[in-house]
Amino acid sequence: MSVFDTIIRGGRIATASDVFACDVGIRDGRIAALGQDLGEAADIVDASEKWVLPGGIDSHVHVSQPSGEGIVMADDFESGTRSAAFGGNTTIMPFCLQEKGQSLREALKHYHAKAEGQCYVDVSFHLIIADPTEQVLGQELPALVEDGYSSFKVFMTYEGLALSDFDLLRVMSVARSSRALVMVHAENYDAIRFLTDRMEQLGNLAPRFHATSRPIAVEREATHRAISLAEIADVPVMIVHVSNRESMEEIRRAQQRGLKVFGETCPQYLVLTEKDLDGLNMEGAKYVCSPPPRDAASQAACWEGIQQGVFSVFSSDHCPFRYDDPEGKLTPRGRTSFRWIPNGIPGVAVRLPILFSEGVVKGRIDINRFVALTSTNHAKMYGMYPRKGTIAVGGDADIAIWDPGIRQTLTHGLLHDGSDYSPYEGLEITGWPVMTMLRGKVIVRDGVLVGAKGHGDHIARDRSVYA
């Protein structure tokens, strides 16, 4: 009888720090051995000429999240985790949104029910704190952090979600005492409201005015304020979906001052620009997300942040809506202003191929930084390391095998999500994940779904290594 269930043979392994040629022996869903001549196994995977990488962890994903009256998110847990697997991911971290007046436990019960039995990859929820009552902050949140929900997101904008500075400080102070990690959506709500009203008064209603209503100053100011509040509360903070130089530099300055301030950027800020919002008719709605994509100089700044380690995580902010659908981007009931276009774009399947192709293949980053930005740092940041995020004996056998030579033009058909378009349609990509394996079981092989729905579990997390 063989010692291993599976052996991955002949590949080149990359972790966040090393590259080495060896075989991977997998038993009972875990990596049991790394070495040569591991013998035989029921399943032998030939990885010659391929990269063997830790499965991607996408720590910023929205699925099945209510998004406003009459609007329906394009992905549920089945399609969202399926698309994630096609893109080389083995864990995603979706958000559990607390509705006003709702307890966090109630919200979680609801999201767990939606996810139960539906997932192709592992999931682990962040909380969104929308209603920071005394009960929520005093009782629920500390208990839930203990239970493995060790991170939460707060918003400085969006109707019904934006918290005052006072409430941000209250939430941050609970994060400090319970050692949770706070993620901040940094955009100035009042400035956006003011500019949105002004655009509408001028008759500027097209999708491109979404970007005009959220200029860089809106994001930079909020980033500066979020960092200052975190400094006052003496708590680590993650600034999510950073789009431009000025915000990136706020984070860099804070890091240089020795603060535990972390940054995340996303594919849309590397390969899209504000010009994409200026399509014919409503086509620009396909690119409406917040913060909006900016310009070539902002793209260069985001690359700089990636190369210099200002950004520790690269996430998709997958927030999918259908385009040609009155419940999606084409806003219903005669609402013509950009104000009503749901914010968010799909990207969970393209995050890794875009960074591999634009980053590793084009020589902007090496393979170790790629692994760190897409897997290892997410696991460390959000309390899953070393079970996940690396290739090491004892860890989950969450592995993506990449063919670095595959060249293809990105089409929506490759992504297997619930949306009806990709904002990245037509992008030329070199390198693609040819096998995604979760806890030793193959989910996607050569572009075919072979895994079982329901194999994906919920992961209760430890504290962030930084909290």
Residues at the site binding Zn ion, with contacts judged by CB under 5 A: 185, 317
Distances (CA, A) of 89 to 81, 187, 348, 389, 446: 9, 29, 8, 11, 14
By a kind-dependent CB cut-off of 5 to 8 A, residue 343 interacts, out of ligand URP, Zn ion, none, with ligand URP
Strand partners, 126: 95
**Smallest distance, Å, CB 116 to ligand URP?**
24
Is 317 an interacting residue with respect to ligand URP (CB under 6 A)? yes
Binding residues for ligand URP restricted to 403-442, rule: CB under 6 A? none
Q: Please, are residues 191 and 184 in contact by the beta-carbon 8 Å criterion?
A: no
Q: Does 328 bind ligand URP (CB under 6 A)?
A: no
| Beta carbon nearer to ligand URP, 348 or 434 | 348
182 vs 367, which CB is nearer to ligand URP? Answer: 182
Instruction: Go through the chain and tell me how many residues it has.
Output: 467
Q: List the structure tokens of 287.
A: 């690119």
Tell me if 214 contacts ligand URP by CB under 6 A. no
Nearer to ligand URP, 15 or 89 (CB): 89
Measure the CA–CA gap between 63 and 418, rounded to whole angstroms: 10
Question: Residue 210: CB partners within 8 Å, gap ≥ 6?
Answer: 277, 284, 288, 290, 292, 338, 341
265 is a contact residue toward ligand URP (CB under 6 A): no
Judged by CB, which is closer to ligand URP: 67, or 150?
67
When CB distances are held under 5 to 8 angstroms depending on the partner's kind, the choice from Zn ion, ligand URP, none that residue 289 binds is ligand URP
One of 289, 367, 427, 429 touching ligand URP (CB under 6 A): 289
Contact 183, 61 (CB under 8 A): no
Please say whether the beta carbons of 373 and 286 come within 8 A.
no
**Closest CB 158 distance from ligand URP, rounded Å:** 7
Torsion angle, alpha carbons of 199, 204, 210, 215, to 10: -50
Pair of tokens at residue 234: 């003496």
Residue window 59-98: x/- pattern of binding to ligand URP, with contact defined by CB under 6 A: ---x------------------------------------
Residue 463 burial (10 A CB sphere; 0-12, 13-18, 19+): middle
Q: Which is nearer to Zn ion, 185 or 439 (CB)?
A: 185
CB of 240 to Zn ion, least distance (A): 6
Residue 317 CB, nearest distance to ligand URP (Å)?
A: 5
> Does 315 sit near ligand URP (CB under 6 A)?
no
For strands 448-449 and 441-445, give the pairing: antiparallel
Q: Considering the complex, state which of residue 52 and residue 186 has its C-beta at the smaller distance from ligand URP.
A: 186
> Binding of ligand URP at residue 319 (CB under 6 A)?
yes
Dihedral sign from CA coordinates of 400, 401, 407, 413: negative
Nearer to ligand URP, 9 or 241 (CB): 241
| From ligand URP, Zn ion, none, interface partner of 377 (C-beta below 5 to 8 A by class) | none
Site for ligand URP contains 343 (CB under 6 A): yes
Going 164 to 167 to 171 to 172, the CA torsion angle's sign is positive
- Exposed, middle or buried by CB within 10 Å (0-12, 13-18, 19+), for 405? exposed
Options 89, 290, 312, 464; binder of ligand URP; rule CB under 6 A: 290
Interface residues with ligand URP (CB under 6 A)? 62, 185, 241, 289-290, 317, 319, 343-344
